């Protein structure tokens, strides 16, 4: 077990500049540019970007597995926001968001794909990761393509047979 003074020197966390991560989030989801002003950015491993309170002092805290919350996975051609980041920052999105009805949200949270044939929502101009909401509350991230939404809810967070309140 390592002591707290080693935490800030661990090679798996590197404090990084907010760019291009904060700009990508604003461009992708239409969030206010100041959304991440009170956060510091960290990289763990090759492909995961984390955000934490701007004033965090890693060497001053007990050893932990993570700093703040994971924001993005960048290891593929298309960056993917994490589910926890979508839930935390998703209220401020203005684009690349799909609002689901109760039965759709329940299926989405159960990791099922949702098809939008003959539905005005099927014309989202974006192909890639979108934020799914129910009653204005972000519930997760999904991969949007060809008029359908594939759930990206983590397996461990899947909720089957969930009855959501109706609008």
* pTM score of the predicted model: 0.81
**Of 66 and 125, the one with more pLDDT:** 66
Neighbours of 139 (CB within 10 A): 23
pLDDT at position 161 is 60
CA neighbor of 97 nearest in space, from 140, 159, 67? 140
- From CA 9, how far away is CA 5, in angstroms rounded? 8
Same-domain pairing of 15 and 75 = yes
What radius of gyration do the chain's Cα atoms show?
17
CA neighbor of 75 nearest in space, from 43, 51, 46? 46
Predicted confidence (pLDDT) at residue 153 exceeds the cutoff of 50? yes
Cross-strand partners of 50? 42, 70
**Residue range 67-81, pLDDT digits in tens:** 789 999 998 888 999
Predicted confidence (pLDDT) at residue 94 exceeds the cutoff of 80? yes
User: In the listed set 34, 58, 89, which residue is the last one of a domain according to the structure?
Assistant: 89
CATH number of domain containing 105:
3.10.450.720
Same-domain pairing of 8 and 84 = yes
Structure tokens at 87: 């839930």
User: Within a domain: residue 126?
Assistant: yes
Q: State the average pLDDT over residues 155-167.
A: 68
Which residue in this structure is represented by tokens 């002092």?
Answer: 57
Contact 154, 84 (CB under 8 A): no
């Amino acid at each position: 077990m390592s002591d707290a003074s080693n935490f800030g020197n661990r090679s798996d966390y590197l404090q990084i500049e907010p760019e291009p991560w904060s700009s990508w989030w604003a461009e992708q989801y239409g969030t206010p540019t100041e959304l991440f002003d009170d956060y510091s950015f960290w990289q763990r491993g090759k492909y995961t970007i984390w955000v934490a309170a701007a004033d965090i002092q890693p060497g001053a805290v007990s050893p932990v597995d993570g700093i703040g919350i994971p924001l993005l996975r960048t290891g593929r051609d298309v960056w993917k926001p994490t589910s926890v980041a979508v839930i935390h920052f998703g209220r401020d999105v203005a684009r690349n968001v799909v609002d689901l009805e109760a039965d759709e949200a329940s299926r989405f949270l159960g990791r099922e794909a949702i098809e939008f044939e003959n539905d005005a929502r099927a014309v989202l101009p974006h192909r890639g990761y979108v934020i799914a909401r129910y009653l204005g509350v972000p519930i997760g991230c999904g991969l949007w393509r060809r008029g359908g939404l594939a759930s990206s809810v983590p397996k461990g967070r899947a909720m089957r047979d969930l009855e959501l309140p109706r609008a």
